Chain A
Amino acid sequence: MDFLVENLSAITWQQVVMWVIGGLLIWLAIKKEMEPTLLLPMGFGAILVNLPFSGAIHTLEELFNAGISNELFPLILFIGIGAMIDFSPLLSNPKLMLFGAAAQFGIFFTLCMASMFFDLKDAASIAIIGAADGPTSIVVAQALNSKYLGAIMVAAYSYMALVPIIQPPIIKLCTTKKERLIRMPYVQREVSQTTKILFPIIITVIAGIVAPDSVALVGFLMFGNLIRECGVLNSLSDTAQNVLANLITIFLGITISLRMQAAEFLAPETLLILGLGLVAFIFDTAGGIFFAKIYNIFAKTKVNPMIGAAGISAFPMSGRVVHKMGLAEDPQNFLLMHSIGVNVSGQIASVIAGGLILNFFM
């Protein structure tokens, strides 16, 4: 009985708070279907590591060292993500990539904001929440040796899941009704197989030359895409998209929860990081929209500024949000192909932004 009393008396209120947070993440994952593949393992892991004298911590530390410290898990996951992405809408209208670039504004704005409270490496790790891309956030935060990895991950994945709630009010605030009604007819342009094959190779080479530290991020993403597009590795593409991605996702979420131990996680900094993550998402969205407005000043064919918001990366939620908002304004305004194209470009731009951040601070 003594051991039971000892264990019970070792429970701290901070651990109980973490159980509640873990329960909340599980609830959000199951009931609200918010990024369930990541939030559910993270929620369960938050409970697991905050049990008194938890024997799981040692195992999770081993997993952390095997897959997160060396950035292996997020990079392998990138192969799966690359295999899932169809770049065709982007390749048929390459100008859309510029909106993806503009929508990384939130990352750099948040870097400046976070630097008021944190040292530069931690500020950069927090800013990359604005990449709206979990693996990039993990790689950057880990490479910069941030001690706030747990909070950064919770913020990154929560806000990605909250894109349908966060973005619409900002889009409405930054655009007029007249702008939201701009129609964008979609002209289907044929994209050759050669272009689809050369595109990931070209991106990798360019990113590697400009930001060598990002070449792992970009390279793994584009390797996955090359497997998809080459046409002779359908079985590998299928495995990368499903089995590989699922396997890594299972371990990724629960392993990250190691950084959700009460002593580390329950700090004022965590709330601040959650706030700064929101700032990053807001300014990403606004950056994309205002760039589209500037583009319209010079362009012959106007674009609907809402598509700029899809450059936030969070794929494919952001593209769908913009499409739905377009339909809500005008049931005949189909923005999906444009918004998905911008959304995909945001994926590329966010990875390049991550590489630039690493170049600045490593």
Chain B
Amino acid sequence: MTFNPMNFISNLSYMAVGMVSIFIVIGVIVALTMFLNMVTNIKAIVAEEEAAKNNK
């Protein structure tokens, strides 16, 4: 084990790439989940409206 403080600076690129990558991946997942929620909610609303019409 050796102490080399300069490694902290030279490896900061991993921190930058890592954090940006995580945010991109999670961002894509968030967007897809919102889309999925939207689509399935619309389907649910349409189904409810149809059920209400049928009841009438």
Q: Which A residues fall within an 8 A CB radius of B?
A: 91-92, 94-95, 97-98, 100-102, 104-105, 107-109, 111-113, 115-118, 120, 123, 189-192, 194-195, 198-199, 202-203, 206-207, 210-211, 268-269, 272, 345, 348-349, 352-353, 356-357, 360
Contacts and interface: CB of A to CB of B under 8 A. Distances in A.
A109 B15 CA distance: 6
Nearest to A194: B40
A116 B18 contact: no
Contacts of A116: 3-5, 7-8
Interface of B: 1-5, 7-8, 10-12, 14-15, 17-19, 21-30, 32-34, 36-37, 40-41, 43-44
A300 to B, nearest CB: 17
B15 A108 contact: yes
B54 to A, nearest CB: 21
13 contacts: A91-B37, A97-B30, A98-B30, A100-B26, A101-B19, A101-B22, A101-B26, A108-B15, A111-B18, A112-B14, A116-B5, A353-B18, A360-B14
Interface residues of chain B: helix, strand, loop or mixed (majority) = helix
A94 B25 contact: no
Nearest to B44: A192
A356 B32 contact: no
Given A101-B22, A116-B4, A353-B22, A94 B14 contact: no
Given A104-B18, A116-B5, A211-B25, 9 more contacts: A91-B33, A117-B2, A189-B37, A195-B40, A199-B33, A203-B29, A269-B1, A356-B18, A356-B22
A349 B1 contact: no
A269 B12 CA distance: 22
Contacts of A192: 37, 40-41, 43-44
A105 B19 contact: yes
Contacts of A94: 29-30, 33-34, 37
B41 A117 contact: no
B1 A117 contact: yes
B1 A97 contact: no
Contacts of B41: 190, 192
Given A97-B30, A194-B40, A206 B11 contact: no
Contacts of B5: 116
A98 B26 contact: yes
A111 B18 CA distance: 11
B1 A352 contact: no
Contacts of A268: 1
Contacts of A118: 1
Contact of A112 (B1, B8, B27, B36): B8
Nearest to A192: B40
A352 B25 contact: yes
B26 A352 contact: yes
